[in-house]
């Protein structure tokens, strides 16, 4: 019986040696390698793709926050973590927690600058559009 009940198109020659046919054989992939390729492809199809890097997003947040006293909008002063690293950490955690549905920048904005929070001075409602503006500006 072939791999995956014939999915790879493998069968046996008259001399008893395994022979690969079909697409995977044309590509020169063994059955095990073809299963790896299928698994990798399925993983990549289910992995969110971002049109920007964490550094590009951090740069856009820095510009959108536009604060010398609280760069990157980081309100806490850490002993060992720079505001940029705190921003990058927040981005990484948000990417990990995001379910892949909807707009990631909106998801991040709900964490980073929640509207009507205790620290909102009325400008958090502009955070998403400002960050997107600077992301697009940097991309050009």
Mean pLDDT across the chain, nearest whole number? Answer: 78
pLDDT at 24 over 80: no
The pLDDT assigned to 28 comes to: 62
Tell me the mean pLDDT in the region 56-60: 95
Tell me the mean pLDDT in the region 100-114: 92
The pLDDT assigned to 92 comes to: 95
Give the DSSP H/E element, type plus range, for residue 11.
Answer: strand 10-12
Look at 17 and 31; give whichever has higher pLDDT.
31
Q: How confident is the model at residue 135 (pLDDT cuts 50, 70, 90)?
A: very high
The pLDDT assigned to 1 comes to: 39
Q: What is the CA radius of gyration of the chain?
A: 24
Cα separations (Å) of 80 from 16, 83, 85, 89, 91?
65, 10, 10, 13, 18
Crossing angle of helices 54-65 and 127-139, rounded to 10°:
120
């Amino acid at each position: 019986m072939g791999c995956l009940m014939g999915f790879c198109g493998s069968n046996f020659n008259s001399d008893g040696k395994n022979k690969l046919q079909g697409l995977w054989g044309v590509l020169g992939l063994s059955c095990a390698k073809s299963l790896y390729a299928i698994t990798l492809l399925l993983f990549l199809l289910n992995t969110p793709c971002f049109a920007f890097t964490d550094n590009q997003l951090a740069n856009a947040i820095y510009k959108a926050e536009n604060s010398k006293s609280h760069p990157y909008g980081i309100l806490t002063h850490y002993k060992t973590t720079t505001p940029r690293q705190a921003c990058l950490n927040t981005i990484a955690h948000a990417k990990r927690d995001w379910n892949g549905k909807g707009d990631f920048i909106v998801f991040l904005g709900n964490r980073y600058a929640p509207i009507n929070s205790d620290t909102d001075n009325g400008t958090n409602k502009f955070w998403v559009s400002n960050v997107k503006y600077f992301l697009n500006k940097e991309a050009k």
